[in-house]
Structure 1
Amino acid sequence: MFRRNVSLFIVSMLVFLLAACGSSPQQGSTETSQAPNNNTSQPAQPAADKKEEKKFVIGTSVPSLEFTFFVAAQKAWEEAAKELDVGAPFYNGENNQAKQNKDIEDMVVKKVDAIVVIPITTEGVIPAIRYANENGIPVFTVDRSITSGEAEIVAHIGTNHEEMGENAAKLFLRGLEEKYPDVKEYKIAELLGTPGSSAAIERGKGIHNILEKDPRIKFVASLNGEFQSTLATTVTENILTANPELHGIIAHNDMMIEGALQAATTAGRNKDLIMVGMDGQISTAEKIKSGEIYGTFLQLPSMLGDGMKAAIKHLNGEKVDENVWVPTELIDKANVEDMISQQKVW
């Protein structure tokens, strides 16, 4: 009887131990199954964060789409916006400073993240930029600058217009010397850009830095063509009428030098004149190729897209240089075919 009871006791203990051992794997499998669940839940967090990422909206205003340069700049702006996935409202100032200021104020009201502006004039745009400053919206200028100290900008992206004016003047002087090597006095005319714009002020300064030092140069006229082809044609007609002897015309942009060429051609005097512009538009390059215009200097309308990129860097907390200079390039008879074939001109 005792042995039987002992046997039953041993069997009971074995069953108990087996049951206890069997519970360990079950408990372990529960911990293992929880770990994968924790791991698979981790990627869900970035997905939620991604939905919360803000898409930047960066607005811009250009002086006028009547100018070829700004039409090309608009294309560069749109291409950059597509590449960077940025909201990019575009405003045409219509060469009206009051309208450009109102457009900038509209961007502020709509709470864009940054504003990139090509000012019509150096001072006229300041109240609008100051309004953006007061509302905490960073402002970047492109191509044309503003007078310093009265409004705050993060950075300026553009060409050194004074240097480009100097280089254009050197090219112009070279052309005069080639065509008229024995002339002791060169009678020339200058076509000026939009009054009060930094481009006109600085390009004009560069031209005079070079030409006023040469005793052979005589300015018979320095007249405003507003950077426009049609007005330049009218102005040049008046210059030609008043000056039966004229050796050359230098203009602050290519649209004006093309307008001057039209007037000179109508008057039958185009072959008598050395003509130099600035900007590098393709129609001017074609006229350099044909020998109608002596040369120009290229500046790149893609700088407006560069302004967008600078704004994004700033919004992302990256450092942006206060001045980003975009290089210029000579276009003359020697290299114009390459410039056209390589699609450097616009």
Structure 2
Amino acid sequence: MVKRISLLLIIFALVILSACSGSKDSDTSSNDTSGGEEKEKVVIGTSVASLGFLFFVEGQKASEAAAAELGVETIFYDAEENQAKQNQDIEDMIVKKVDAIVVAPVTTEGVIPAIKQANEKGIPVFTVDRYVDSDEVDIVAHLGTDNIDMGKNAGELFLKGLEEKYPNEEVYKVAELIGTAGSSTAMERGEGIHSVLADNPKIEFLINLNADFQSTTAMSVTEDILTSTKELHGIIAHNDMMIEGAFRAADDADRAKDLVLVGMDGQKSTVEQIISGDIYGTYLQQPAMLADALRAAVKHLDGEEMDKIIAVPTEEINPENANEMVEKAW
């Protein structure tokens, strides 16, 4: 009996010791967890006008690479050229409590209500490529090309091409393919083009048609232009996707050789067509500006001050330098 009691006492003592030891281990583990908690990862939400544009596809790649490099998370949204969808996407970012928002708006005015909501929640907003010019909202910074300047430069390049191809013509009959209605990009590039060409007595704009920055739309629009216009010297487009579509339509009609074609953006496929002589020229802008916008957002969250406008440079690509510039194109 005594032996049994002694054995029970020993077992009881071991249980008590084990419990004490386990409690100590548990406290240490808890302290380690609280002391070693990782800081929550910064999340940047990005909405682009459409991933149907190669410019934004390449921009997404650059942005995701920058996010990985900086150790932040990025959530990417495709507005599909639908302003209502873009606003809903921004509202979704707000619900998800992202730390900052980068947006390339579908339209300049239409995105304002969504940005207002982000402002009300204290979420910093950055615009890229397409800007929002409104006193109703607070934009930390805009990153993008000076589109008026690029339109002006493209217009001058277009005029040079016309003069080279048709030195004896008194009047150049031309067409303009316009980007998405209401987008700052289309409005400003158009303004730049017309600042050079509209008052030039040698330029006659036969038609200015909207092709929504899309290649297939531009092809269809150009087919209509060529059907209705027997004499046409050139086409200038607000982006390279449209000028490539214009070339295909002109080529199908066996009139490409008669036209001076100029675009903007600097797509590699367009530069290759400049090398082959199908297209006269373009102006290069880099889609990596989306990555720069993400970096700017992270810097802002870290307390760094920055300019309200962060300009992205452009470069001319023409028949003389296309072979050198093709490596810079995207």
Q: TM-score, normalised by structure 1?
A: 0.85
Deviations 1:192-241 (A, max 9, x none): 00000000000000000000131100000000000000000010011111
1:200 alignment partner, one of 155, 179, 186: 186
1:321 alignment partner, one of 301, 307, 319: 307
Instruction: Give 1:286 shift.
Output: 0.5
- 2: CA distance between counterparts of 1:106 and 1:196? 24
- The 10-residue stretch of structure 1 (293-302 or 51-60) with the greater mean CA deviation from structure 2: 51-60
Q: What percent identity do the matched residue pairs reach? A: 62
Instruction: Give 1:48 shift.
Output: 6.7
Aligned residue in 2 for 1:39: none
1:266 alignment partner, one of 229, 247, 252: 252
Aligned residue in 2 for 1:82: 68
Deviations 1:258-309 (A, max 9, x none): 0000000011000000000000001001100000000000011000000001
1:291 alignment partner, one of 277, 289, 293: 277
- 1: CA distance between counterparts of 2:184 and 2:296? 21
Instruction: Give 1:321 shift.
Output: 0.9
Q: What RMSD over aligned residues (CA atoms) do the two structures have, in Å?
A: 1.4
Aligned residue in 1 for 2:137: 151
CA distance change for structure 1 residues 56 and 173 in 2, over 3 Å: closer, same or farther?
A: same
- 1: CA distance between counterparts of 2:43 and 2:220? 42
- 2: CA distance between counterparts of 1:148 and 1:329? 29
Aligned residue in 2 for 1:219: 205
Instruction: Give 1:98 shift.
Output: 0.4
SS at match of 1:88: strand
SS at match of 2:41: coil
Q: Give the AA of the match of 2:329.
A: V
Instruction: Give 1:147 shift.
Output: 2.5
- 2: CA distance between counterparts of 1:185 and 1:246? 10
Equivalences, count: 300
- 1: CA distance between counterparts of 2:212 and 2:136? 26
SS at match of 1:164: helix
> Any residues of structure 2 matched to 1:53-68 within 5 Å, and which?
53-68=39-54
Q: TM-score, normalised by structure 2?
A: 0.89
- 2: CA distance between counterparts of 1:66 and 1:312? 27
Aligned residue in 1 for 2:77: 91
Aligned residue in 1 for 2:149: 163
CA distance change for structure 1 residues 228 and 48 in 2, over 3 Å: closer, same or farther?
A: same
- Give the unaligned 5+ runs of structure 2: 1-30
Aligned residue in 2 for 1:175: 161
Instruction: Give 1:52 shift.
Output: 4.4
CA distance change for structure 1 residues 50 and 119 in 2, over 3 Å: closer, same or farther?
A: farther
- 1: CA distance between counterparts of 2:98 and 2:222? 43
Report which of the two structures shows the higher radius of gyration computed on alpha carbons.
Answer: 1
Aligned residue in 2 for 1:344: 328
SS at match of 2:73: coil
- Give the unaligned 5+ runs of structure 1: 1-44
SS at match of 1:334: coil
Q: Give the AA of the match of 2:137.
A: A
- 2: CA distance between counterparts of 1:314 and 1:50? 26
Instruction: Give 1:53 shift.
Output: 2.5
